[in-house]
Amino acid sequence: MADNRVVQGRMQTPESLAELVEGESVMDAEPIEDADRECPECGGNVLEVGYMPSAMEFVTGYKCQDCDWSEVDRD
Ligand SMILES: [Zn+2]
């Protein structure tokens, strides 16, 4: 799938990237996009993925492609 992106040397689908950010399995994930920001840890490219950790919640996850940094926007 064209949605897959390489993160820290490993190919990730939207679902697997969302699970990396969330730390557990997720219900659904949208296509991965490039976030308009740099990683605060290493200056690397940050990816953005919207996902549903549960049926009642939609959040936006951010993950650096080059290091362990990630963040979740739960607004
Ligand atoms: Zn980084």
18-65 pLDDT per residue, tens:
999 999 999 999 999 999 999 999 999 999 999 999 999 999 999 999
pLDDT band at 75 (very low <50, low <70, confident <90, very high): confident
At residue 57, φ and ψ (nearest 5 deg) are -135, 135
Q: Which residues surround ligand 1, an ion (CB under 5 A)?
A: 39, 41-42, 44, 64, 66-67, 69
Predicted confidence at residue 2, as pLDDT, reads 60
Residues 29/50, Cβ–Cβ less than 8 Å: yes
pLDDT band at 3 (very low <50, low <70, confident <90, very high): confident
Calpha distance 3→15 (Å, rounded): 10
| Domain residue extents for the chain | 5-73
C-alpha 44 – ligand 1 centre gap (Å): 5
